[in-house]
Amino acid sequence: MEVASELSPLSGQEAQGKIVERTSYYPQEPNKRPKTRKEKVKSCLRHNALTMLTVGGVVGGVILGIILKNSKSEKYTPREIMYINYFGDLFLRMLKSLILPLIISSLVSAIGSLDLSLSGKIGARAIVYYMVTTISAVILGIILVISIRPGDGKSGQVEEQKETQNVSTVDTLMDLVRNMFPPNLVQACISQMRTEPERPKNMTDENMDHWKLVEKDIPGMNILGLVVFATVLGITLGKMGQEGKPLLSFFESLSGAMMIITNWVIWLSPLGVLSLVASKITEMKSLDEVVGQLGMYFMTVLIGLCIHGFVVLPSLYFLLTKKNPYRYISNMAQALVTAFGTSSSSATLPIAISCLEENNGIDPRVTRFVLPIGATINMDGTALYEAVAAIFISQVRKVPLSFGQLVAVSITATAASIGAAGIPQAGLVTMVMVLDTVRLPANDVFLIVAVDWLLDRCRTTVNVVGDALGAGIVNHLSKNELSTMPHHHAQSQNGADRLTTSI
């Protein structure tokens, strides 16, 4: 503001305007003055305290695990490992208890509050993104494992465990579709169905096609079936209009309550992650032995996960949104560290939703629609891992694969990743389906089990990165449609207000 203009005589309105203008540049109230460097540092530390504590939990868990492992000559007993893992187990139980109400309430409220044509567009964009990224992850994994060939020369170096599983690819794919339509929703909350051939007592025929098919209930939430039901219910409430408002308001209120509870549980993550990591390191037989036997395989999967999670996916995000993907990912640090510590994308879902809405300003109507579906069917890291593992085992067994078999592996790994539950080491179960495609025995899964616990954490982190970036892309592409619709709760408004400032 020029000095001459301040000294010149002014009318009342002009003087008032100048005063307002001057106070806007030089705020007189103490609470509106610019923050000092020290205050900015304090604010940054306060804002990122939880993330830094969680990272400290991972580092502390590694250090504690190594100290405990080296402080005792003999192997730790299962009871001693259970003591070390106790707080981690409690933390996982708390997170898993939030999955069911959070997924149902988030999906129903998000879809029900959207216009049906808009929810269809958002769903289509999300599904296209999931398919493109999953297929690209599988292709990347196949290229790397064929180029590096980690399985050459490894035959006979890995201890086998004899365990057979009577699982066929056709049965697995059909079970995937069956679980989408559970006959009992209450039962779907605690178990999912799997079909397995069972040889009758008096039959000597080894052909499983002649065996009896038995439907078994496998412990674990049938998330796929619950997602399908919640999606249909949300569409129905949206179609009912005013008549469906009371039930929709209930799910919106439940969703908000679950997010508040999630914020309370999140503050226990540093201690939980420390306990989980320490127990896993203590449980290991020998780190040197694992690296010596499966080092090249481990590095191949790790390189693939890093390229896909931190090069391919961010590049796609940048091309579609023209925004910095790495700042976006850094705002997800709390969710990523939790994903690494828990190795469960479903358990990380509440924290991922919180980070996206609070740190990246993504519209809650998008996060609560896209993320629960993504945590169920978008498993980029798992798809890449399963493709690499199947071809690695074929290299170990000296079984050459044709181009057609490689295509079959890519298709089956994609389908298997969709069917994999978002729980620790679920990929080992669906790996049987991929091995069956290339005529390898199911018990060969145990060739890679020595390093699966660590790779499971890495691929879960990539899964969460893929879900988060997908939500950002869908939010950006749907911005115009979302802006024309009223927000249904204050949290949605806050998320939209932060959209232009947080990313």
**Does 411 or 241 have the greater pLDDT score?**
241
pLDDT in tens, 181-216: 888 888 888 887 777 777 777 666 566 666 777 777
Sign (positive or negative) of CA dihedral 59, 60, 61, 66: positive
- At residue 132, the pLDDT reads 92
End-to-end CA distance of the chain: 32
**Which among 157, 135, 217, 148 has a CA at the least distance from the CA of 407?**
135
- State which of 31-45, 58-72, 112-126, 449-463 shows the largest mean pLDDT: 58-72
Kindly report the length of the chain. 503
DSSP letter at 201 equals T
Query: What pTM does this model have?
Result: 0.65
* pLDDT given at position 418: 66
pLDDT at 47 over 60: yes
Residue 269 CA to residue 230 CA, distance in Å, equals 28
- Beta bridge partners, 215, equal 195
Q: What is the mean pLDDT of the chain?
A: 76
pLDDT, tens only, 402-435: 777 787 778 777 776 765 554 455 555 567 667 7
Mean pLDDT within 360-365: 89
Span 242-257, average pLDDT = 89
Interatomic CA distance for residues 127 and 470, integer angstroms: 10
* Three-class SS of 49-98: HHHHHHHHHHHHHHHHHHHHHHCCCCCCCHHHHHHHCHHHHHHHHHHHHH
Which DSSP state fits 215? Answer: E
Torsion angles phi and psi, residue 480, rounded to 5? -65, -45
Q: How far apart are CA 176 and CA 228, in angstroms?
A: 12
Q: Give me the architecture of the 97-502 domain, per CATH.
A: Orthogonal Bundle (1.10)
| CB contact at 8 A, 281 and 67 | no
Q: For 271-296, what is each residue's pLDDT tens digit? A: 888 888 888 788 776 666 555 557 88
Question: At a CB cut-off of 8 Å and minimum separation 6, what does 289 contact?
Answer: 450
pLDDT score, position 435: 74
CA torsion sign for 374, 380, 381, 383 is: positive
Q: Treating both helix axes as pointing N-terminal to C-terminal, what angle do 380-396 and 449-477 enclose, rounded to 10 degrees?
A: 150
Amino acid at 305: L
Cβ(79)–Cβ(86) below 8 Å:
no
Q: Which residues contact 34 (CB under 8 A, 6 or more apart)?
A: none
Whole-number pLDDT of residue 442:
62
